[in-house]
């Protein structure tokens, strides 16, 4: 007997074939540190039953921003230490770069994909410099991209060799000293008479990086435009002056082959989201793709103040530094709550920490700077003079988030945030983001991922880390998993179209099959859902 089935007859068996095989985890007690877990049997999505103490509800009908990536800043100091590591122990150097930046599906690596690079000196440089320090050189006859230390470009090119899709975001800490009031690279502000000249200088910077074979994703006008510090390169701007530079630079970029490079404004603390950032967009709405935020003032919810005024503008989170000696688990909770889950929930397309690499004392720094005073700034990676390295809590936080959004397919798209909510009696115990990752082959199932912080540790009273038994609701089906105190990233695969659909059901048929035969789950027209699942997706 030969028949055609329609989708409704296969709904139960098809949806339950959605399984969680892939889990990455970092726990509060460090018993798991960005560890890949392989369950002995898959976690199945089955018909719903009683919800857990927490109930995660994934709504893939609600889609938000695509995430550009996670990472940090390749300062001169970071590049110096990494280059020294390469000279001292090349194998360790390349192991580190792959551990940080490799996006290969299934690799034991974070897949970081966003690097911020200062244009000229910062508070983590060996000394003061710009790319043209000749006073009054308005024609930039002396502009030289090689004023930057050679190791900066060498390390950046090595990172690109590991991940050729890395997003490079460049920005200055200061204009050249001769363009500023006071004539000093430390402190002061750009002379109003040199707005268009400075825009040309920034264009020359873009062209210089291009000449080094470095593809550019974005440029900002100024790092922290409301910070004037006389002990390292800084420069203050009003929103109006930054808008003037932005308008001039955007025109130059569009006319010189950089039309696809984003121009990002503000790049300073959350507490300016409702003032400076909004004023900047009002003054130059067509120049800037969006704005970027730092963590040193205000709170992450301020991103919503900006987003509500400019919902079509992009938001980036681009800087926060760890502090040497702070508590490991407390830091991870804060980072996840405010940056790697929090800022993304508040519409950020990125989550970046400050230096990628420093030594154990937070050095080397700009001579005489009071930046990162006190205990010092901790980097994502500690590089030691003996040719060894170790990663810090900043890495473990961002790696868990990054793993959820890196492409499933080589050259494929990054993850897009989707709707998620948490119910149940312990809903407060979990902080959750959800993502969907598209595929290069439209027939392949999409990847759905969760990043979950369980911070139910009772740290404010009596220390009692409590795992949370959780149900996960997805398209009318339910999986169950107990989240330990820590950060967990997991994913599963599902068809592009929800099986809750009704109008499309009759348009997708099943190939003829013999009811009495053993091969009851043959390929059907949608894309070989059943017997091709393992071949298409495997276990990464």
Structure tokens at 339: 């940056």
Whether residue 511 is predicted with pLDDT greater than 50 in this model: the reply is no
Structure tokens at 377: 């700034």
pLDDT band for 54, please (50, 70, 90 cuts).
very high
pLDDT at 17: 61
Which long-range CB contacts under 8 A does 432-435 form with residues at least 24 apart? 432/56, 432/341, 433/341, 433/344, 433/345, 433/401, 433/404, 434/56, 434/58, 434/60, 435/67, 435/404, 435/405
pLDDT at 498: 59
3 state DSSP class of 175: coil
In the predicted model, what is the mean pLDDT of the chain?
91
Give the predicted TM-score (pTM) of the model: 0.90
Residue 362: name the closest of 322, 319, 328, 320 by CA. Answer: 322
pLDDT tens-digit map of 60-103: 999 999 999 999 999 999 999 999 999 999 999 999 999 999 99
pLDDT band for 39, please (50, 70, 90 cuts).
confident
Dihedral (CA of 316, 403, 433, 428) sign: negative
Q: Where are the beta strands (DSSP E) in 77-140?
A: 114-119
Compute the distance between CA of residue 300 and CA of residue 304 in angstroms, rounded to an integer: 8
User: How many CB atoms neighbour CB 101 within 10 A?
Assistant: 24
Phi, psi at 491, each rounded to 5°? -155, 165
pLDDT at 497: 79
Residue 434: name the closest of 105, 61, 45, 107 by CA. Answer: 61
Find the range with the poorest average confidence among 4-8, 238-242, 289-293, 327-331: 4-8
pLDDT tens-digit map of 331-384: 999 999 999 999 999 999 999 999 999 999 999 999 999 999 999 999 999 999
Compute the distance between CA of residue 175 and CA of residue 178 in angstroms, rounded to an integer: 8
Helices (H), 313-363: 328-335, 342-345
pLDDT tens-digit map of 398-407: 999 999 999 9
pLDDT tens-digit map of 185-205: 999 999 999 999 999 999 999
Residue 73: name the closest of 7, 152, 2 by CA. Answer: 152
pLDDT tens-digit map of 106-133: 999 999 999 999 999 999 999 999 999 9
pLDDT at 5: 39
Element (H, E) at 35: strand 35-37
């Amino acid at each position: 007997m030969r028949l055609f089935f329609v989708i409704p007859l296969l709904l139960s068996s098809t949806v339950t074939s959605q399984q969680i095989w892939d889990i990455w985890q970092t726990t509060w007690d460090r018993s798991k540190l960005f560890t890949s877990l392989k369950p002995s049997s898959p976690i199945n999505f089955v018909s719903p039953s009683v919800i857990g103490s927490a109930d995660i509800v994934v709504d893939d009908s609600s889609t938000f921003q695509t995430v550009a990536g996670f990472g940090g800043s390749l300062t001169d100091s970071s590049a110096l230490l990494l280059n020294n590591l390469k000279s001292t122990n090349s194998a360790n150097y390349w192991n580190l770069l792959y551990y940080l930046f490799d996006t290969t599906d299934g690799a034991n690596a974070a897949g970081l994909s966003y690097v911020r690079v200062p244009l000229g000196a910062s508070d983590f440089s060996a000394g003061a410099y710009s790319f043209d320090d000749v006073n009054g050189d308005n024609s930039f006859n002396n502009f030289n991209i090689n004023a930057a230390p050679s190791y900066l470009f060498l390390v950046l090119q090595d990172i690109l060799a590991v991940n050729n899709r890395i997003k490079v975001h460049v920005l200055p800490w200061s204009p050249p000293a001769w363009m500023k009031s006071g004539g000093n690279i430390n402190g002061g502000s750009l002379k109003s008479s040199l707005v268009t000249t400075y825009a040309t200088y920034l264009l020359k910077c873009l062209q210089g990086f291009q000449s080094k074979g470095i593809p550019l994703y974005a440029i900002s006008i100024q790092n922290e435009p409301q910070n004037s510090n006389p002990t390292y390169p800084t420069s203050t701007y009003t929103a109006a002056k930054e808008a003037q530079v932005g308008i001039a630079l955007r025109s130059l970029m569009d006319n010189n082959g950089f039309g696809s490079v984003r121009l990002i404004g503000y790049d300073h603390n959350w507490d300016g989201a409702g003032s400076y950032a909004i004023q900047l967009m009002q003054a130059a709405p067509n120049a800037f793709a969006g704005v970027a935020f730092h963590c040193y003032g205000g709170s992450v919810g301020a991103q919503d103040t900006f987003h509500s005024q400019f919902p079509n503008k992009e938001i980036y989170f681009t800087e926060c530094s760890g502090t040497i000696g702070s508590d490991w688990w407390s830091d991870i909770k804060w980072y996840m709550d405010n940056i790697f889950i929090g800022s993304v929930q508040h519409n950020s397309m990125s989550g970046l920490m400050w230096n990628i690499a420093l030594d154990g004392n937070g050095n080397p720094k700009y001579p005489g700077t009071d930046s990162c005073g006190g205990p010092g700034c901790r980097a994502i990676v500690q590089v030691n003079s003996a040719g060894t390295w170790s990663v810090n809590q900043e890495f473990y936080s961002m790696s868990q988030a990054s793993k959820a959004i890196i492409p499933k397919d080589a050259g494929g798209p990054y993850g897009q945030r989707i709707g998620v909510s948490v119910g149940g009696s312990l809903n407060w115990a979990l902080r959750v983001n959800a993502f969907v990752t598209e595929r290069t082959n439209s027939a392949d199932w999409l990847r759905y991922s969760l990043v979950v912080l369980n911070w139910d540790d009772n740290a404010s009273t009596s220390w009692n880390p409590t795992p949370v038994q959780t149900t996960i609701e997805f398209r009318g089906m339910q999986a169950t998993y107990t989240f330990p105190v820590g950060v967990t990233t997991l994913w599963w695969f599902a068809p592009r179209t929800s099986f809750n659909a009704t109008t499309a059901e009759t348009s997708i048929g099943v190939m003829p099959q013999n009811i009495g035969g053993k091969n009851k789950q043959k390929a059907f027209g949608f894309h070989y859902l059943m017997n091709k699942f393992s071949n298409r997706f495997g276990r990464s």
